[in-house]
Amino acid sequence: MRRLLVIFIFSIGLRSSVLSQTAINYNNYLNNGRLLVINGEYELGILTMDSAIQASPSSLIINKDRGYAEMQLKEYTNAIEDFNKILNKNPNAIDVHLQRGIAYYHISKIDSALYDIKKVLNDNPYHREAKDYMSYVESGKKLIEQQNRTQLKIEQDKIEQLRLEKTKEREKIIKGSKSPLSFWYSVFETW
């Protein structure tokens, strides 16, 4: 009986050690991935975040950060997949609706973009970036109706360049900060 108790206690200790090591690995991957993204090393940041997801598949915050990095690489379909994972668990994540709406816009899924941007504006009618994108989406919808996809592509490229410039400005501010990206998402919602 005593031997069985010792084995049981040992197995609990071993399991606890494995779980805490997994948490440490997750945090290391998460923090390193974020640092790489802030430094503009998006591909390496995504790979590091992939490791964080493997270490803790149920943690969704990393999907948001990875989606952000994928947006910078214009990997909109991958970003949408990450944002969908979050929205399936938390359909009221307004900042994620905004990012997914922007991604939908850039792959010309205008109705889906419109849905997400409207959701953001219903929550916060003064959200500047959502208002800007609502105007872009409505313009894109008109161009599609007019069968003017060439002009839509020109507009999308111009808007994408503006988005990337804003992103670089934001990353300069974030660089060197110890605050998580999720904090900065909320700061920049009104920027």
- Report yes or no: 163 and 102 within 8 Å, Cβ to Cβ: yes
Choose from 21-25, 108-112, 181-185 the range with maximum mean pLDDT: 108-112
pLDDT at 182: 52
Number of domains in the chain: 1
Work out the mean pLDDT of the chain and round it to a whole number: 81
Choose from 45-54, 99-108, 180-189 the range with maximum mean pLDDT: 99-108
CATH number of the domain bearing residue 98: 1.25.40.10
* Alpha carbon distance 64, 114 (integer Å): 20
What is the distance between the terminal CA atoms of the chain, rounded to a whole angstrom?
Answer: 65
pLDDT at 25: 78
Q: What does the pLDDT look like over 109-166, one tens digit per residue?
A: 999 999 999 999 999 999 999 999 999 999 888 888 787 778 878 888 888 888 888 8
For residue 178, the enclosing domain spans 2-188
Minimal CA–CA distance to 123: which of 103, 96, 105?
Answer: 96
Residue 19 predicted with pLDDT over 70: no
